[in-house]
Amino acid sequence: MTQLKISGMICDSCATHVRQALEKVPGVQSARVFYAQGSAEVTLAGGTQADTLIAAVDALGYRARLDEGHAPPPSGGLLGKMQSWLGGDSGKRTGNEASLHVAVIGSGGAAMAGALKAAERGARVTLVERGTIGGTCVNVGCVPSKIMIRAAHVAHLRRESPFDGGIAAAAPAILRDRLLAQQQGRVEELRHAKYESILDGHEAITVLRGEARFQDGRTLAVKLENGGEQTVRFDRCLIATGASPAIPPIPGLKDTPYWTSTEALVSETIPQRLAVIGSSVVAVELAQAFARLGSRVMILARSALFFREDPEIGKALTAAFRAEGIEVLEQTQASRIAHAGGEFVLTTNRGELRADKLLVATGRAPNSRGLNLGAAGVNVNSQGAIVVDAGMRTNAAPVYAAGDCTDQPQFVYVAAAAGTRAAINMTGGEAALDLSAMPAVVFTDPQVATVGYSEAQAHHDGIETDSRVLTLDNVPRALANFDTRGFIKLVAEAGSNRLIGVQAVAPEAGELIQTAALAIRHRMTVQELADQLFPYLTIVEGLKLAAQTFTKDVKQLSCCAG
């Protein structure tokens, strides 16, 4: 009887697959595989070589070697190669080396969540990062942008507020160098606390600094940043490489010193004139921030702001921006861009436009190029995004993907949730990511927040709807704030009156949208939402009032009427 040690099995189903593969090897009379012990007992006919057994197991993506004490002297051929892959000719391995090996490419939200969960579930993790630890969110995305947006909001309130009649306004002095130092100090603090120090102190996670690419479906080649190359063989791999700013093919653009959000967030100066190409999240957030810090801003929108969302969202935000002096140019495209004499010259269908700086914010493209995904057989869509199912599985069985490099929504909390679920599935569990009640927030002022279906999306899916729109002049908190910009819209399924979607444009709309998400998740009707207790003089009370409009005229209700 020949005994094998097998690593990489994570369930009884794995053991069954290994047994079936072994029984197909010519000369194998019987095979028994034990998942819990990581071993196999094989009865062979004379002449059958052990390396053919190892090759059969390896073909499934597991690792096999002759059980210690039963191995013959090392030889060449496939067995010798297998032993060298395992760390030397002796074939000896420690208990930790025998655990499931997970490779993670990236170090952002999805990668960190996946690496930590995989290690928590007993895996040995190798994390590969080619750039700055922490990915987009903490370094060049969520954290610095929200700090800048908050600073701009404070500057705006000092310059202008609904209470200027009783509180004298004063134009603030913007000390950009100090704001930037404060912003980047917090970025570095969070990167160290939430990423670098965690990785440094984790015994089950090894960090390789370098660029990874697939050699085949079980192997990465890592070009190390300090020179040389290292081969990483894995049982499972999580691709979590994020995304980068997408640059439109406008003639002349690539020859100019344009900004993406990355450069804009660390700019040492506030330009006098800023042109922004784009009409969605990054474009509008940074456009308003720079305007409030002193730039004269114009936004070039190919269609309208947020044209993919409910039309009322774009209309409300456009009105708010124009009231602040931000120029929103709808149905405007640049056909050529030049930079001369220290200024940008944009040739558009509205004529020639000029600016001191140009921010290009037309979306983000998945970081999938350079990974040699074809070698692993991993499919991408027409935009280069890795296609995954609800369990973060790609079409190539041992390879998973999560975060902005996939075809899922590009939000860091989606990425983190996806990374966690990928790790559970890579280590023998079963988890799926349900995005049916995914909240989204845009940090403009007023904020934009959405969850679930818009009317158009529901109709596209064949769902008949009943909807109501509540303007904020019906919300007591907004009246008390003297700020009634925006609305709250509820979308219900016709007949059942079950809440299926909410869109809101309101100050602090992001603080109310999770309540809406929970209502949708728990399949509440609008009447059940209307019957809930909401604290008086809060913006979230607007959800209750909006729900009441399905059966009542809220203008005829007293304050905090139940």
**Active-site residue set:** 9, 11, 14, 62, 137, 142, 559-560
3-state helix, strand, coil in the chain (%, to 5): 35, 25, 40
Residue pair 437/452 in contact by the 8 Å Cβ criterion: yes
C-alpha to C-alpha distance for 74 and 50, rounded to whole angstroms: 12
Report helix, strand or coil for 521. helix
Taking the CA atoms of 354, 355, 358 and 362 in sequence, report the sign of the dihedral they define.
negative
Terminal Cα distance for the chain, rounded = 78
Reading phi first (left if > 0) and then psi (alpha if -120 to 50, else beta), residue 422 is in: alpha
Residue 328: name the closest of 362, 354, 301 by CA: 301
Residues 6+ apart with CB under 8 A from 276: 283, 286, 287, 297, 298, 299, 300, 358, 359, 361
Six-digit token pair at 321? 């921006």
Distance of CA 427 to the CA centre of its chain: 22
Amino acid identity of residue 548, one-letter, is Q
Residue 135: name the closest of 510, 410, 513, 349 by CA: 410
C-alpha to C-alpha distance for 508 and 101, rounded to whole angstroms: 44
Residues 6+ apart with CB under 8 A from 423: 102, 113, 114, 115, 116, 117, 118, 121, 123, 238
Which residue is associated with the tokens 């800048």?
148
Residue 186, CA distances (Å) to 242, 259, 435, 552 in order:
22, 22, 31, 48
Amino acid identity of residue 102, one-letter, is V
Amino acid identity of residue 330, one-letter, is E
| Residues in the chain, total | 562
Residue 541: name the closest of 525, 527, 524, 560 by CA: 560
